[in-house]
Amino acid sequence: MKRWEPFVWPLAAVAAGLAAWQLGVRWTGTHIFPSPMDVQRGLAHLAHKGVLLRYIGDSLGRVGVGYVLGITCGIPLGVVLGWYPAAHTTVNPAVQMLRPISPLAWIPLAIVWFGVGDFAAIFLIFVGSFFPVVVSTASGVRNIPDVFLRAGSNFGLSQVGLLKRVVFPAALPQVIVGLRISLGVAWLVVVAAEMIAVDSGLGYLIIDSRNAGKRYDLVVAGMLLIGLIGLALDTGMRRLERLKSVRWGFRDE
C-alpha cells in the first residue's frame, strides 16, 4: 500500500458519503431530516452559544473519571485472579455473572444510589470499563507461557519481582486489548447515561434537541460528534498498541 492511500481513501469515502447524503435529502424533498449544511449550521449555532465545547468537555470528563476508576480497580483484580488459582476459583463466578449485565441496566440503581447527576453517570462508566479490563488482564496473566515463569525463577526473582518484571509485561498486550475495549464501552455508556441522568454532554444534546423543538440538525450533529470523538479515542488506543514495549504482542496490520 502506498503511503498516501491510508489518508486519501478514507477522505474520498467521507466525501462520497456526504455527497450521497446531500443528494438523498434533495431527492426526497424532506423537511425533517437535515442536510449536511443544516448540520454544519447547527454546529456553528452551538459553538456561537458557547455550549459545544462545554458539552464535549463534560462528556470526556465523565468518561475520563469513570474509565480511570475502572482500570485502576480492574487491572489489579485481574492480576490477582490470573495469578492466584484460589482467587480465580472464588471470585471469577461472580465476575462472570455480573459481566454480561449491560451497564445500562444499572441506570435505575445508579439513580437511586447517586441521584441524577455526574456521580450516576460516572458509576455507569465505571461498570462498563471495569469488567472488560478484569477479564482481559486475568486471561493475559493465566496464559503466560510457563517458560517465561521458569526463566524468571531461575534468575532468582522473588514473587513480587516475577510479577513486576515477567508477568505483567508478558500480559500487557492482552491488557491493552482490554483497555481498548473498555474505552469503547465507556464512550457508549456515557452517551446513554447523559440521556437520562444528567443535563449536559453530547447524549443530553441529542435527547434535548429531539424533545425541544425536534431539532434533528442538532441530533445528527451530536451523533457525528460522538462518532468522531470515538474514532479519535480508538486511534489513540491503537497508537498505544504500537509502542515498542507491547508491539511484539500484536500482528502487523
Distance of CA 226 to the CA centre of its chain: 11
Query: What is the pLDDT at residue 253?
Result: 45
Query: What is the pLDDT at residue 247?
Result: 57
Q: pLDDT tens digits for 23-78?
A: 988 888 888 888 899 999 989 988 988 889 999 999 999 999 999 999 999 999 99
Position 244 pLDDT exceeds 70: no
Q: Alpha helix (H) ranges present in 115-167?
A: 118-142, 146-154, 159-162
Percent of the chain with pLDDT over 70: 94
* Mean local confidence (pLDDT), 84-111: 91
Q: Going from the N-terminus, what domains does the chain have, and what CATH number goes with each?
A: 53-247 (1.10.3720.10)
Rounded to the nearest integer, the mean pLDDT of the chain is: 86
* Mean local confidence (pLDDT), 184-201: 85
Query: Are residues 186 and 68 in contact, defined by beta-carbon separation less than 8 angstroms?
Result: no
Choose between 120 and 239: higher pLDDT.
120
* Mean local confidence (pLDDT), 71-96: 92
Residue 107, C-beta contacts closer than 8 angstroms, at least 6 positions apart: 120, 124, 192, 193, 196, 197
Query: What is the pLDDT at residue 10?
Result: 83
* Length of the chain as a residue count: 253
Give burial (CB, 10 Å; 0-12/13-18/19+) of 239: exposed
Q: How confident is the model at residue 246 (pLDDT cuts 50, 70, 90)?
A: low
CA distance 180 to 197: 25
Q: How confident is the model at residue 252 (pLDDT cuts 50, 70, 90)?
A: very low
Q: pLDDT tens digits for 105-155?
A: 998 899 899 888 889 889 999 999 999 999 999 998 888 888 877 777 777
Position 227 pLDDT exceeds 60: yes
Q: Which of these ranges, 25-39, 112-126, 157-171, 223-237, has the smallest mean pLDDT?
A: 157-171
